Structure 1
Amino acid sequence: MPIVQLDEFLIDQIAAGEVVERPASVVKELLENALDAGARRIQIATAGGGKTLIRVTDDGRGVPKDELRLAVKRHCTSKLAGGLDKIMSLGFRGEALPSIGSVARLSLASRAEGASEAFEVKVEAGRCDGPMPAGLSKGTTVEVRDLFQSVPARLKFLKSDRAEASAITDIVRRSAIAFPGVRFELSGPDRSRLVLEAAAPDDPLARISDVVGKDFADNAVAIEAVREDVYLSGFAGLPSFDRGNSLAQYFYVNGRPVRDWMLVSALQGAYSDMMAKGRYPVAALFVELDPALVDVNVHPAKADVRFRDPQLVRGLIVGAIREAMATEGVRGSTVAASGLMARFSAGPKREPQEQAGRFDGFSPGAPDIAMKPRQSFGASNLAGYEATKRPMTPFDPASAAYRPFEAGAFTETTDRQVSSGFAEDGQTPFDAGLATEVFAGTADAAVVKSYPLGAAKAQLFENFILAETKDGLVLVDGHAAHERLVYERLKAALHGTQIASQMLLIPEIVDLSEGDADRLAEASEAFSVLGLHLERFGPGAIAVRETPAILGQCDAKRLVKDLAEELAEFGTGDSVRSRIDSVAATIACHGSVRTGRRLKPEEMNALLREMEVTPGSGTCNHGRPTFIELKRADLEALFKR
């Protein structure tokens, strides 16, 4: 068949396959045009999940009469004055309206600023009619009817009306967070009416709370950091304020809503040892940088971006969130308190809940994402080591090359009385840490209660610590809290200096591609700090000389291959650190105070004081909350006072 020139209508239909994936894609493109036009009020109406009708009305600057026909032609735009290196608008490709017009019936009515009347053009089957007079007081109205009428095969791949309507709602919510000063209204016969009023400029959390939920404001930590002219701001939820999927994660680059996997990975990495596996943090993060340092022209949908220095952005996100959580101090989720209030309230008997699974270590490498729950990032075997596997050689603190604790911390006592219940023989002496100067019996009670976690009053069921604060009660899970304290101290000791390594009698030679070998050789210095010593062994091989001693016997070949895959995908190799942290978590779990251990008042208060100064003490290594706080008003409400 000879090469022929395709006609414009067929070209538009081909382009529409990338730009117009579903009705939500149409709404996204029309919203971007309205926001670029400076709209302050936007109304969206849909019918049939957007397949029958999509109407977007705004009060923006409008389109002059002589530019209406250009607006619906391919590659016609007013937003590229600075070129692709200086994209300051949401839209810029000039493909949205002609692509929509090639697969639906499109009408565009607009009244430009200063114009005495409005005009309208209509596009159907690639033919444009107009402009013709229209009735419109201000701004622009775009109406799309019978989406995919010219390509009915595409309709078969769309989901139900309810699912498509839900996707449109998500698009509107994501845009609303980026533009809190704009009023959004979403209505139609296929949905309940949604109105997001314009938020005050001095209340950045108002719009986010309207979208994410009212509880977010009480469980969020402000994020603000800058590194090498890359500015990060926004809010991140407490580790105990989590969700079962990643739909409540919102990322914005220079005001543009994006769904970049590197940003998702960075957020999950920031919560890696503070959240349970299979749970996802809630956050709204805004990245601002020079437009020349980010490429938004990756895909016609403009949802993906590419950073010139992705590791700089990733490190900024991880570091800023961890620093914010540490600075915030001890703080529990209000959702846990609400759940406790509900259980205290009279009601029908509840079925016992399934006990949380035993901690099986952190998944090394890239984190899970909502698209495939409980699988490693990108549905690949990027994380090489299964978390349930343990080193073949048990870790012996007394004889290990690196001993982060004092020797006495691991010795057994013979004069201690072991209580009944779940106490274990040979339980290690309780050691809450350094902050032990405030005891219930030696300090004034009012002074002790002034601390965030208050003064210990009793131990319930030989595990839970009941403490009284100035304005309420705190219930602490003693084992979970002490486990977090031990883990943080062990982790700080492990990563505070170079980790001890174990030399292999015979170096392990790993055959790789030349590109993977180059990347590993460049990162070898960073790996050596973690106890993994690599050397180049020819053009396509790496020699493993030493491995981290704390890992015992490990599959060095598989570890190196996993690191090579991570470096190729993300530019960073976190498997070694994640593996070491998982071992530290296991040690902390077995070295912390057990359920069934009766604590003295000074021991309980020492635990509370240490929790107050330990980052991340609001959750244990499993991601479960370590304490629940009830205010005095909550208790009075239970008794209807």
Structure 2
Amino acid sequence: MSSQVVRPIMSEHIVHILPEQVASQIAAGEVVERPASAVKELVENSLDAGARSVSVEILAGGSALIAVADDGSGMTRADAILSLRRHATSKIRSAADLTAIRTLGFRGEALASIASVSHLRMQTRRAADDNGVEVAAEAGNIEDTRTCAIAAGTRIEVRQLFFNTPARLKFLKTLATEQGAIAESFQRVALANHHIAFRLASDGRVVFDLPRANSVLERFRQVFGSKIATRMLAFDLDRPGIRAQGLAASSQESFPTGRMIFTFVNGRAVRDRMLIRAVEQAYQTLIPRGRHPATLLFVGMRPEDVDVNVHPMKTEVRFRNGGAVFDVVYHAIRDRLADQTDSVQPATIGDPPVSSTDDAAMGLITMSSKGAQDRVDDRAPSMRSDSPLRLVPDALTEKAFQRPLTLAYDRDARGGPAAPAAPIPMYSKLRVIGQIFAGYIALETEEGLLLIDQHAAHERVTFEKLRRELRDGGIRTQATLTPVSVELSPARAGMVHAAITEIRAMGFDVEPFGPTTLLLKGAPAVFGPEGGAKLLGDMIESMGDAGFRGGGEAAFENWLKQLACHGSVRVGRVLELPEIHSLLAELDRTEFKTNCPHGRPVHIQFARGQIERMFRR
């Protein structure tokens, strides 16, 4: 029995042009994903218009009302009407302009897209005009135009967003979620434009009221408060064609998520994985695994070297030379974190250097008791100081750590430079009170009491020595008086023998001595040969199933962390006063000295006022 394929009867024409209203709604879906997208587009238009003050009011998470008012340049009647048409823009003239975009907006879709899915009312006036103009539109169609009284600038009201696209309206999140998204979007724009006043109100409640700030640090303080602002370090690295500057949290401050990492390219807030990865890698070995820093990163470059036209909402960019950008960002932050004890005033992003009245810069960080509880318990059974604390003299000189105090002053309405804060004293310059619980060194500072975790401090010193030697060709080895045999587990012996080259690179002079034995002839010089066999055993025990192979430099750093941890002085070891002074001097000559390689704090501080309040003084 034969079968026939039944084909559907089709009309003669299956390709057609979408109606203008449907096309506008599709475009709106790309540009205006949610109320926060509309707020972002409208605020960016205000900034492009030269506004010095921007106010935003929302109701019901932005779905009922979004009102954005500014004191920018305003528009004529003809421009106001034309601005609501698709592809209308004042920011580019030809395709060639797309290669060097210098404004936040440029697509010419925002106002038309928003108007196509809402009831929109625009009031605008130029300073030179006697009256303003009001334009009312519904679903993209202009319903009315009239003159109005308004101060110079523009006010746009968007009501009942997505009223004619119920599918989009249905997928909006809860009221609180949409409000939060608007606040986060608004916050990013405010952080990038400290010289502009911003105000955000939600359902009659003021969320942000930010006056014009003198500096990026002051704006950061306005948004996030003084507690974290005082823990931010200014950084600035300028290389040909690329400049990375901003604020980075000290290594003793970290967060459970990456939401405190803000990245901007030529003043535009972006979500770029490469920039975030560069920031995160700059904090490697400085904060605990799984924690994230707070960073305000501004990357400046030639507009032709970055493509901002790769995403409808302009939140992603593409760099012409991403590797060079990564390198500048990484070193800008990493070099600043190398020594966090000096004081550097934050530069005014994008403005010429003038005077400053910012607060004193960063210093020793006051930590809560919770920070100290994150320490791994390294207690050793012995409370005696039988063997000396071995601290091999470092080839680095004091001069290498006497970094010049670079000052980039911020804008100050009163004029005149403010004196920079004095650098934080070095650990070795502080008065040693003694040792507490055979694990913590107590120091007296002008600000209060400083406690140093001796294991974390020695671990950082040791780790940096080992890493420097490894990069210089191999960790230096000191021979043992007599070879020592190290027995291996038969299950892991083959893996260990296969990693002989890597083990030697880490400072252990070993040779195979039978199928399950190694002959140890030398150990890393930084520890001395006495405990070499135990150190090697600990290293082999911590070796994963993949052995010592694979992972590159990052894998070696993880093994060096283990080596530094096992070989450093433990909590529970009583130190003599000369040993304490020696450790503090070594710590002062070490980069990244405020945290151990696993990210735990080396010190915590109890402010003098805090102590006095406990005694009710």
Q: State the alpha-carbon separation in 1 of the partners of residues 15 and 570 from structure 2.
A: 76
Task: Confirm whether residue 286 of structure 1 aligns to residue 298 of structure 2.
Answer: yes
Aligned length: 499
Q: Deviations over 1:165-199 (max 9, x none)?
A: 11111111111111111111111326444200101
Task: Confirm whether residue 617 of structure 1 aligns to residue 576 of structure 2.
Answer: no
Shift of 1:72: 0.8
Q: State the alpha-carbon separation in 1 of the partners of residues 318 and 457 from structure 2.
A: 40
1:320 to 1:358, Cα distance in 2 relative to 1, 3 A:
farther
1:555 to 1:353, Cα distance in 2 relative to 1, 3 A:
closer
Name the aligned partner's letter for residue 391 of structure 2: A
Aligned equivalent of 1:161: 175
Q: Choose the corresponding residue for 1:227, options 219, 229, 239.
A: 239
Aligned equivalent of 2:56: 44
After superposition, where does 1:73-222 map in structure 2 within 5 Å?
Answer: 73-81=85-93, 83-189=97-203, 191-200=205-214, 203-222=215-234
After superposition, where does 1:423-438 map in structure 2 within 5 Å?
Answer: 423=382, 429-434=388-393
Q: Contact 1:330 / 1:612 at 8 angstroms: preserved in 2? A: no
Greater mean deviation of Cα atoms: 69-78 or 329-338? 329-338
Name the aligned partner's letter for residue 337 of structure 1: T
Q: Choose the corresponding residue for 1:422, options 381, 389, 394.
A: 381
Shift of 1:432: 3.5
Shift of 1:557: 13
Q: Contact 2:561 / 2:598 at 8 angstroms: preserved in 1? A: no
Q: State the alpha-carbon separation in 2 of the partners of residues 468 and 435 from structure 1.
A: 26
Task: Confirm whether residue 483 of structure 1 aligns to residue 442 of structure 2.
Answer: no
1:194 to 1:482, Cα distance in 2 relative to 1, 3 A:
same
* Partner SS for 1:579: helix
Q: State the alpha-carbon separation in 1 of the partners of residues 377 and 279 from structure 2.
A: 24
Task: Confirm whether residue 339 of structure 1 aligns to residue 368 of structure 2.
Answer: yes
Aligned equivalent of 1:56: 68
Q: Contact 1:274 / 1:622 at 8 angstroms: preserved in 2? A: yes
Aligned equivalent of 1:512: none
Q: Contact 2:265 / 2:298 at 8 angstroms: preserved in 1? A: yes
1:464 to 1:558, Cα distance in 2 relative to 1, 3 A:
closer
Aligned equivalent of 2:324: 312
Q: Deviations over 1:477-508 (max 9, x none)?
A: 111111111111111111223799xxx99xx9
Shift of 1:336: 5.7
Q: Contact 2:384 / 2:574 at 8 angstroms: preserved in 1? A: no
Q: Contact 2:58 / 2:203 at 8 angstroms: preserved in 1? A: yes
Name the aligned partner's letter for residue 185 of structure 1: R
1:71 to 1:428, Cα distance in 2 relative to 1, 3 A:
farther
Name the aligned partner's letter for residue 432 of structure 1: L
Name the aligned partner's letter for residue 612 of structure 1: D
Q: Contact 1:40 / 1:58 at 8 angstroms: preserved in 2? A: yes
Q: Contact 1:464 / 1:477 at 8 angstroms: preserved in 2? A: yes
Q: State the alpha-carbon separation in 2 of the partners of residues 270 and 355 from structure 1.
A: 22
Q: Deviations over 1:567-597 (max 9, x none)?
A: xxxxxxxx41111110111111111111211
Name the aligned partner's letter for residue 589 of structure 1: C
Task: Confirm whether residue 242 of structure 1 aligns to residue 254 of structure 2.
Answer: yes
Q: Contact 1:329 / 1:614 at 8 angstroms: preserved in 2? A: no
Q: Contact 1:162 / 1:190 at 8 angstroms: preserved in 2? A: no
Name the aligned partner's letter for residue 366 of structure 2: A
Q: State the alpha-carbon separation in 2 of the partners of residues 70 and 181 from structure 1.
A: 30
Greater mean deviation of Cα atoms: 14-23 or 549-558? 549-558
Q: State the alpha-carbon separation in 1 of the partners of residues 394 and 231 from structure 2.
A: 26
Shift of 1:433: 4.2
**TM-score using structure 2 length:** 0.75
Shift of 1:631: 3.9
1:152 to 1:468, Cα distance in 2 relative to 1, 3 A:
same
The answer for unaligned runs of 5 or more in structure 1 is 344-351, 360-419, 437-448, 509-528, 531-548, 560-574
Q: State the alpha-carbon separation in 2 of the partners of residues 488 and 353 from structure 1.
A: 22
Task: Confirm whether residue 606 of structure 1 aligns to residue 565 of structure 2.
Answer: no
1:557 to 1:452, Cα distance in 2 relative to 1, 3 A:
closer
Aligned equivalent of 2:469: 493
Q: Deviations over 1:336-358 (max 9, x none)?
A: 62525xx9xxxxxxxx9975679
Q: Contact 2:121 / 2:158 at 8 angstroms: preserved in 1? A: yes
Shift of 1:435: 7.3
Q: State the alpha-carbon separation in 2 of the partners of residues 168 and 101 from structure 1.
A: 19
Q: Contact 1:435 / 1:606 at 8 angstroms: preserved in 2? A: no
Q: State the alpha-carbon separation in 2 of the partners of residues 219 and 129 from structure 1.
A: 53
Q: Deviations over 1:338-386 (max 9, x none)?
A: 525xx9xxxxxxxx99756799xxxxxxxxxxxxxxxxxxxxxxxxxxx
Q: Deviations over 1:274-316 (max 9, x none)?
A: 1111111111111111000000001011010111111111111
CA RMSD of aligned residues (A): 3.3
1:94 to 1:321, Cα distance in 2 relative to 1, 3 A:
same
Q: Contact 1:333 / 1:628 at 8 angstroms: preserved in 2? A: no
Name the aligned partner's letter for residue 60 of structure 1: G
Q: State the alpha-carbon separation in 2 of the partners of residues 317 and 628 from structure 1.
A: 29
* Partner SS for 1:88: coil
1:43 to 1:167, Cα distance in 2 relative to 1, 3 A:
same
1:602 to 1:558, Cα distance in 2 relative to 1, 3 A:
closer
* Partner SS for 2:87: coil
Shift of 1:163: 1.4
Q: Contact 1:452 / 1:469 at 8 angstroms: preserved in 2? A: no
Q: Contact 2:118 / 2:163 at 8 angstroms: preserved in 1? A: yes
Name the aligned partner's letter for residue 552 of structure 2: V
Q: Contact 1:455 / 1:605 at 8 angstroms: preserved in 2? A: no
Q: Contact 1:104 / 1:148 at 8 angstroms: preserved in 2? A: yes
Shift of 1:83: 0.6
* Partner SS for 1:242: coil
Q: State the alpha-carbon separation in 1 of the partners of residues 196 and 468 from structure 2.
A: 46
Percentage of matched positions with identical amino acids: 36
Q: State the alpha-carbon separation in 2 of the partners of residues 450 and 338 from structure 1.
A: 18
Name the aligned partner's letter for residue 107 of structure 2: R
Aligned equivalent of 1:261: 273
Shift of 1:67: 1.1
Name the aligned partner's letter for residue 456 of structure 2: A
Task: Confirm whether residue 67 of structure 1 aligns to residue 79 of structure 2.
Answer: yes
Shift of 1:599: 0.6
Aligned equivalent of 1:466: 442
1:129 to 1:116, Cα distance in 2 relative to 1, 3 A:
same
* Partner SS for 1:593: coil
Shift of 1:232: 1.3
1:357 to 1:141, Cα distance in 2 relative to 1, 3 A:
farther
